[in-house]
């Protein structure tokens, strides 16, 4: 099936093409999130205090890392459209400029990691020793940030040119190495000191740099990538400006999404260590489940952007609707697995009975939460294929931060406390009112966001029909 074809394509062909690109991306995404999952599981069995410290520190790190990563991911639709237009050497130039941008952003944006008290000021009475663990974690993880972002430039290139297996292979190897280093450094094996959360961040830093160097080595030794004439060169305003034009609203969207969850974790800490631990279980599960619509969205966006670059808008729309269908099916499967496997999931995350009770209550909201998240994720990526990123950013800002986070605080900790009690009993039965209200308002804001983004996409398609 040729992306440049001007004829129609069957529904099954579109599904097959997306799945072919999506499954390596999905494995890569799961491998990436496995770092946080392994940290949560191992520290959950190490001590509740270390789990809380990791939950707070990881939330802060992911806010910075994912926000900056969104800027770098602008390379995906840019390079995919260039591939569709057969401008291969331009892809190499944009990639080099993206590498410069990644390194610069990591140094500037990462500085905020060194001031954890700014973030923890809203978490209430967090014990001093937990605050100390958070500060140490973030100082160590700061070293990992440049490697993490520059690896994302490699990831963006491989995804844009429909060669995602390279990143998948590196990520799979990194899981094994991360698990080994975690075991050694968290629990203090073979005479090493038991570092707890500091051991988790140290292992992340080591693995992140090894992943980046492995990616570089493969790019410059794989004959396929020679056609793009990959070069670092000097920073050039023309290319950097184009990446930032799309990357800033994309990064803003990423930042808004992850910030909502970050501040939810910080607010949940007000209700104590056990609530914070239970919240972290649902937060981790949400991140794992999100990887499926995210992977389908990236694959769909990359293929649609290539079609847009070749001016084949009909094919781009066929790919988009196929991706939406797959995302809906995937969401249904994910929700079913979580509901059936809830006891095993909780057991894997914690051996503390009080944390398990909170986690079990919160996991009940997964059907509404994940369906809404999957739909808004997919349509956001489809719009980015057309280099439309500002509208999703604005909608997500107003709804996720305004209605979701601010509303969750108001009904969970502010003057409206108790107002959502009927929904609390249905969606999160038995969960503390604060953390329950946060997750309910987050779910509703994601659902409304998905509806508005779908309306905007059909507005775009109506305008593009004239070019069919």
Comparing 157-166, 210-219, 374-383, which segment has the lowest mean pLDDT? 157-166
What's the whole-number mean pLDDT along residues 185-207? 84
Residue 450 lies in a domain: yes
Name, of 49-63, 247-261, 316-330, 349-363, the range with top average pLDDT: 316-330
Comparing 132-146, 213-227, 359-373, which segment has the lowest mean pLDDT? 132-146
Alpha-carbon distances, residue 405 vs 51, 392, 398 (angstroms) = 23, 17, 10
- pTM of the complete model: 0.82
Task: Give me the percent of the chain exceeding a pLDDT of 90.
Answer: 52
Residue 347 lies in a domain: yes
pLDDT of residue 254: 86
Phi (first) and psi of residue 311, to 5 degrees = 65, 25
DSSP class per residue in 36-94: HHHHHHHHHHH-HHHHHHHHHHHHHHHHHHHHHHHHHTTHHHHHHHHHHTT-HHHHHHH
Alpha-carbon distances, residue 35 vs 9, 38, 189, 294 (angstroms) = 39, 5, 19, 17
CA–CA dist 74, 155 (Å, integer): 11
Per-residue pLDDT of 145-184, as tens digits, reads 999 999 999 999 999 998 988 888 998 899 899 989 988 8
CB 439 within 8 A of CB 265: no
What's the whole-number mean pLDDT along residues 362-373? 94
Query: How do the residues of the chain divide into helix, strand and coil, expressed in percent and rounded to 5?
Result: 85, 0, 15
Q: How many residues does the chain have?
A: 468
Structural domains of the chain, count = 1
- How remote is the C-alpha of 94 from its chain's centroid? 23
Buried b (16+ CB within 10 A) or exposed e, 47-68: ebbbbbbbbbbbbbbbbbbbbb
CA–CA dist 37, 364 (Å, integer): 20
* DSSP designation for 189: -
- What range does the domain containing 425 cover? 11-467
Task: Give me the percent of the chain exceeding a pLDDT of 70.
Answer: 96
CB 401 within 8 A of CB 256: yes
**Mean pLDDT of all residues in the chain?**
88
Best CA proximity match to 448, nearest among 383, 399, 409, 410: 399
Best CA proximity match to 334, nearest among 1, 26, 18: 26
pLDDT of residue 72: 95
Residue 434 lies in a domain: yes
Residue 414 lies in a domain: yes
CA–CA dist 63, 248 (Å, integer): 15
Comparing 39-48, 105-114, 240-249, 272-281, which segment has the lowest mean pLDDT? 39-48
Comparing 10-24, 100-114, 160-174, 253-267, which segment has the lowest mean pLDDT? 253-267
What own/partner pairs with CB < 8 Å and gap ≥ 24 does 404-407 have?
A: 404/260, 404/441, 404/442, 404/444, 404/445, 404/446, 405/259, 405/260, 405/263, 405/264, 405/438, 405/441, 405/442, 407/441, 407/444, 407/445
What is the Cβ-side half-sphere exposure of residue 209, based on CA atoms within 13 angstroms?
10
pLDDT of residue 400: 93
Confidence band, pLDDT 50/70/90 cuts, at residue 2:
very low
Per-residue pLDDT of 444-458, as tens digits, reads 999 999 999 999 999
pLDDT of residue 196: 77
CA–CA dist 107, 117 (Å, integer): 20
Residue 323 lies in a domain: yes
Confidence band, pLDDT 50/70/90 cuts, at residue 62:
confident
Residue 426 lies in a domain: yes
Residue 227 lies in a domain: yes
Confidence band, pLDDT 50/70/90 cuts, at residue 273:
confident
pLDDT of residue 124: 61
110 token code pair? 């990462």
pLDDT surpassing 50 at residue 4: no
Confidence band, pLDDT 50/70/90 cuts, at residue 3:
very low
Confidence band, pLDDT 50/70/90 cuts, at residue 411:
very high
Residue 59 lies in a domain: yes
Best CA proximity match to 380, nearest among 261, 290, 285: 290
CA–CA dist 239, 420 (Å, integer): 49
pLDDT of residue 145: 93
Confidence band, pLDDT 50/70/90 cuts, at residue 122:
low
408 token code pair? 């969750």
Per-residue pLDDT of 426-447, as tens digits, reads 999 989 999 999 999 999 999 9
């Amino acid at each position: 099936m040729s992306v440049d074809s001007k004829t129609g394509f069957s529904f099954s062909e579109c599904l097959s093409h997306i799945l072919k690109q999506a499954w390596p991306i999905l494995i890569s995404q799961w491998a990436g999130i496995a770092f946080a999952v392994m940290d949560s599981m191992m520290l959950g069995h190490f001590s509740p205090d270390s789990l809380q410290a990791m939950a707070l520190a990881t939330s802060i790190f992911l806010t910075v890392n994912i926000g900056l990563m969104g800027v770098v991911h602008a390379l995906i639709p840019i390079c995919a459209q260039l591939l569709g237009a057969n401008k291969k050497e331009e892809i190499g130039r944009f990639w080099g400029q993206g590498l410069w941008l990644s390194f610069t952003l990591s140094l500037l944006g990462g500085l905020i990691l060194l001031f954890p008290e700014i973030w923890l000021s809203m978490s209430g009475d967090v014990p001093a020793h937990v605050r100390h663990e958070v500060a140490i974690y973030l100082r160590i993880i700061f070293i990992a940030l440049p490697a993490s972002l520059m690896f994302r430039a490699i990831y963006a290139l491989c995804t844009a040119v429909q060669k995602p297996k390279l990143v998948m292979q590196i990520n799979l190897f990194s899981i094994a190495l991360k698990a080994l280093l975690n075991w050694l450094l968290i629990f203090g094996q073979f005479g090493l000191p038991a570092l707890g959360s500091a051991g988790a961040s140290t292992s992340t830093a080591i693995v992140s740099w090894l992943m980046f160097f492995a990616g570089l080595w493969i790019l410059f030794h794989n004959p396929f990538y020679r056609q793009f004439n990959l070069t670092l060169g000097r920073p050039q305003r023309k290319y950097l400006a184009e990446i930032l034009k799309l990357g800033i609203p994309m990064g803003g969207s990423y930042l808004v999404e992850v910030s909502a969850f970050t501040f939810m974790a910080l607010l949940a800490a007000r209700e104590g260590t056990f609530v914070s631990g239970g919240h972290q279980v649902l937060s981790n599960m949400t991140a794992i489940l999100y990887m499926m619509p995210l992977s389908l969205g990236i694959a769909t966006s990359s293929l649609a952007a290539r079609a847009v670059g070749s001016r084949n808008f009909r094919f781009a729309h066929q790919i988009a609707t196929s991706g939406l269908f797959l995302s809906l099916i995937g969401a249904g499967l994910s929700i079913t697995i979580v509901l059936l496997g809830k006891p095993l999931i909780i057991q894997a995350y914690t051996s503390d009975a009080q944390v398990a009770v909170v986690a079990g209550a919160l996991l009940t909201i997964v059907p509404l939460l994940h369906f809404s998240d999957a739909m808004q994720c997919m349509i956001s990526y489809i719009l980015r294929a057309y280099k439309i990123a500002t509208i999703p950013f604005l909608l997500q800002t107003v709804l996720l931060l305004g209605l979701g986070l601010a509303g969750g605080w108001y009904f969970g900790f502010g003057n409206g406390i108790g107002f959502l009690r009927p929904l609390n009993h249905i969606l999160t039965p038995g969960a503390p009112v604060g953390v329950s209200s946060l997750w309910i308002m987050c779910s509703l804001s994601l659902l409304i966001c998905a509806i508005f983004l779908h309306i905007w996409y059909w507005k775009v398609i109506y305008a593009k029909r004239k070019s069919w």
